[in-house]
Amino acid sequence: MKHPRKAMMIHTLKEVCAFPRLLLICVLCLSLLLYGSACQSAEEEAASMPVSMIEVQEGIDSMATEDFTECSETTEFVKLSVKDYGDIILRLQSSVAPLTTAHFQALVADGYYNGLIFHRVYKDYLIQAGKGADVSTVKGEFTENGVANRISHVRGVLSMARNRNYDSATSEFFICHGDATFLDGSYAAFGYVIAGLGTVDKIAAAPVDVQPDMAGEISLPQEPIVIQKACFVMPKAS
């Protein structure tokens, strides 16, 4: 016959021994939850941080146009299909210029750029397009206008054109054909050519005449350079 007091002591001892084990499990679970939350927060913070110029320079022309496929949803990748010249894939940087990026994406989604031309072609400087019907303006996201912008205007960088008013950018954009760092701080760079820089080179080599309204600048293409279509794309699954 078992002694009731002894049995109770054994039962109590088992409960006491089990308590630290249960506490340890709870601590481990809490640690895992906190670690997961910290990792998620770190990832979200990293995603929202402005891109560095090192990342931009490494990204310029780092992929092929064939690496992308068209899609219906809005993405950070835009394909410009230029008649007789080829495709250009732009990668937008909303972490650097969120207002400019959203403005450009809205125009692409509306089909605004389809059929427009590159009306200014200046070899070793830039190619410029997007002159069409009047659209709303967007705040100039650059240093002189009180907005930090880390992207420098080097070859392959995408930026918004404007007039003398800092907040006058509408639809016109340009792609740097050569380094134009003197534009830094004065124009809203918001992306870069991730594929198709060779197409930019072909456009920049097109024969040009004098622009009638630009103080004799020789940058007016002799033949129309037409953007047949601007649409969203995404990298193909590997």
* Domain final residue, candidates 9, 30, 48: 48
- pLDDT at residue 238 in the model: 76
136 and 30 in a common domain:
no
- Do 36 and 144 lie in one domain? The reply is no
Shared domain for 152 and 190, answered yes or no, is yes
Contact 151, 157 (CB under 8 A): yes
pLDDT(1) > 80: no
Whether residue 152 is found in the same domain as residue 44: no
Please tell me the distance from the alpha carbon of residue 139 to that of residue 151, in angstroms, as a whole number. Answer: 17
Percent of the chain topping pLDDT 70: 79
> What average pLDDT does the segment 218-229 reach?
98
pLDDT in tens, 110-131: 999 999 999 999 999 999 999 9
Same-domain pairing of 13 and 108: no
pLDDT at 99: 98
The pLDDT value given to residue 37: 46
- Separation in Å, CA 9 to CA 1, 12, 17: 16, 5, 12
Same domain flag for 156 and 227? yes
User: What is the per-residue pLDDT for 137?
Assistant: 98
Residue 3, pLDDT score: 55
Question: What value does the mean pLDDT take over residues 182-192?
Answer: 98
How far is the C-alpha of 28 from the C-alpha of 50, rounded, in Å?
Answer: 35
Contacts 24+ apart (CB under 8 A), 208-216: 208/121, 208/122, 211/120, 214/120
Q: Domain range for residue 15?
A: 1-48
Same domain, 149 and 84: yes
Same-domain status, 44 and 57: no
Q: What's the pLDDT tens digit per position in 70-90?
A: 999 999 999 999 999 999 999
Q: Residue 111 is part of a domain; what is its CATH number?
A: 2.40.100.10
Within this chain, do residues 113 and 82 fall inside the same structural domain, yes or no? yes
Structure confidence at residue 50 (pLDDT): 64
Are 148 and 39 within one domain? no
Residue 231 has pLDDT above 50, yes or no: yes
Structure tokens at 51: 């891109």
What distance in Å separates the CA atoms of residue 163 and residue 196, rounded to the nearest whole number?
28
Q: What would the mean pLDDT of 215-219 be, rounded to a whole number?
A: 93
pLDDT, greater one: 40 or 155: 155
Average pLDDT, the chain: 87
- For the stretch 15-32, pLDDT in tens is 544 555 655 554 444 554
**Domains in the chain: how many in total?**
2
**Same domain, yes or no, for 118 and 164?**
yes
Q: Mark whether 113 and 27 lie in a shared domain.
A: no
**Strand locations in the chain (E):** 68-70, 77-82, 86-92, 118-122, 126-129, 157-160, 173-176, 189-195, 208-210, 218-221, 227-235
